[in-house]
Structure 1
Amino acid sequence: MDVDKAIALVSAAGIELTDRRRNGSDDGWSLSFSNGAGLEVRDNGEVSATGKGAEAVASLLGLPAKSAGS
């Protein structure tokens, strides 16, 4: 999945994007959303959700959510 598609799907559900930046290893994007979710979208298409609102975001994207402690 590409970063723009991920943002569009989550934003369409009313969850506002609050931050978008390249990740530390410069192989993808780190996104933050208003519900507390963090989303990593790598350039190779891998996507993972973490944080307080991860379950909601993961559900919208059809992904398994990782717990905040993982």
Structure 2
Amino acid sequence: MDVDKAIALVSAAGIELTDRRRNGNDDGWSLSFSNGAALEVGDDGKVSASGKGAEAVASLLGLQAKPAGG
């Protein structure tokens, strides 16, 4: 999934993007949202959600959230 598409889908649901930066490996994006979710979007299109609001964001994107703390 493209990073801009992921942001658009989550933002359209009323969850505000609070931070967007390249990840430590410079092979994708780390996104933070106002509900506590963190989203990793790789340049290869792989997406994973984690954090407090991960289930809501993952649901919007058709993903499975990582368990809290994992």
Instruction: Please give the TM-score of this superposition, normalised by the length of structure 2.
Output: 0.99
Which residue number in structure 2 is paired with residue 65 of structure 1?
Answer: 65
Secondary structure of the 1:15 match is: coil
Secondary structure of the 1:64 match is: coil
Identity %, equivalent residues: 87
Q: Distance in 2 between matches of 1:31 and 1:48?
A: 10
Report runs of 4+ in structure 1 exceeding 6 Å deviation. Answer: none
Instruction: Please give the TM-score of this superposition, normalised by the length of structure 1.
Output: 0.99
Which residue number in structure 1 is paired with residue 37 of structure 2?
Answer: 37
Residues 6-61 of structure 1: CA deviation (Å, up to 9, x unaligned): 00000000000000000000000000000000000000000000000000000000
Q: CA RMSD in A?
A: 0.4
Residues paired across the two proteins, number: 70
Secondary structure of the 1:8 match is: helix
Alignment-mate amino acid for residue 41 of structure 1: V
Alignment of 1:45-56 (within 5 A): 45-56=45-56
Q: Distance in 1 between matches of 2:52 and 2:35?
A: 7
Structure 2's unaligned 5+ residue stretches are none
Structure 1's unaligned 5+ residue stretches are none
